[in-house]
Structure 1
């Protein structure tokens, strides 16, 4: 009975990871499509107001959405792909060991 529960748990975790991955890919697709449209409208609008193609294309407003939304997309991807350079698994293990040692020393100190 225990192995079927373990298999069910593994299947559920795998389904959750697939759902998260699918959500990220949908987010990435929407990011690309919407930002392409926004950039195209911005470039055409800037050109109609008298700017050259290069001037219209290199305006900060043309790419500001790409930058700021891209930051959010980066963090979404980092979460989905378990990328965390600051709080890595090794860091977690060191902290667990540190807290266990501190608890042991506190117990010994008051015994």
Structure 2
């Protein structure tokens, strides 16, 4: 019974991870499509002021932080880290009150 539960938990985590990765690549793809469009609009209608840089930098920062959330911080402070930390704290509590 417990094996099925753990297996199902792993499956749910794997599905969430795939969904997160897919969301990141969708975000990246949309950003790659929109930035050239914004450059075109800017240079066509207001060529004397290059406001597209603000949008490009903002969108790039958004993609960067999304990347950190999907690939970067999850490895450092992800679910596995939380589980290990909880187990560590519980072990300390058990030692203290024995």
TM-score by length of 2: 0.69
Backbone CA RMSD of aligned residues: 2.6
- Tell me which stretches of 4 or more aligned residues in structure 1 moved more than 6 Å: none
Question: 1:35 deviation in Å?
Answer: 1.4
1:2 is matched with: 2
Question: Quick one: distance in 2 between partners of 1:28 and 1:11?
Answer: 26
2:46 is matched with: 46
Question: 1:76 deviation in Å?
Answer: 0.9
Question: Quick one: distance in 2 between partners of 1:43 and 1:22?
Answer: 32
2:58 is matched with: 68
TM-score by length of 1: 0.61
2:34 is matched with: 34
Residue ranges of structure 1 left out of the alignment (5+ in a row): none
Question: Quick one: distance in 2 between partners of 1:78 and 1:72?
Answer: 10
**Which one has a larger percent helix, Structure 1 or Structure 2?**
2
Q: Larger Rg: 1 or 2? A: 1
Question: 1:46 deviation in Å?
Answer: 3.4
Q: How many residues align?
A: 84
Residue ranges of structure 2 left out of the alignment (5+ in a row): none
Question: Quick one: distance in 1 between partners of 2:19 and 2:44?
Answer: 38
Question: 1:62 deviation in Å?
Answer: 2.4
